[in-house]
Amino acid sequence: MKAAALIISHAGSGSVFEALRLRKLVIAVPNAILMANHQAELAEHLAAMGHLVSATPATLVDALRQLKAAKLVPYQKGSPQGIVAAIDKLMGFATY
């Protein structure tokens, strides 16, 4: 992945986030046969945020064309503090 300029991958979270952390151009192709398709949800969400282009096998050529014109937003790793605070509040733990 480090040597690649473009990564076309299934939309598994490990593959997608590794590519984004490496600041690569990414086309994510969700595995359509998965039940409760979390790959499609992740790819669509990250595409809506402008981090990658989401495609299907049938739309891959169009996705490559779209990528040339896309103004993708670099992915910024989030902080876990927000979710930690929400869980602490939900559980009734004291916060300092």
Position 78 scores a pLDDT of 79
Residue 1 lies in a domain: no
Contacts 24+ apart (CB under 8 A), 54-60: 54/11, 54/27, 54/28, 54/29, 54/30, 55/27, 55/28, 55/29, 56/29, 56/30, 56/32, 57/29, 60/8, 60/27, 60/29
Rounded percentage of the chain residues whose pLDDT exceeds 70:
98
Residue 96 lies in a domain: no
pLDDT, one tens digit per residue, over 16-55 is 999 999 999 999 999 988 777 899 999 999 999 999 999 9
Rounded to the nearest integer, the mean pLDDT of the chain is 91
CATH number of the domain where residue 18 is located: 3.40.50.2000
Average pLDDT score over residue span 62-73: 91
pLDDT-based confidence at residue 57 (cuts at 50, 70, 90): very high
From residue 89, give the alpha-carbon distance in Å to each of 28, 44, 64, 78, 82. 35, 30, 44, 20, 11
What residues make up the domain containing 84? Answer: 6-91
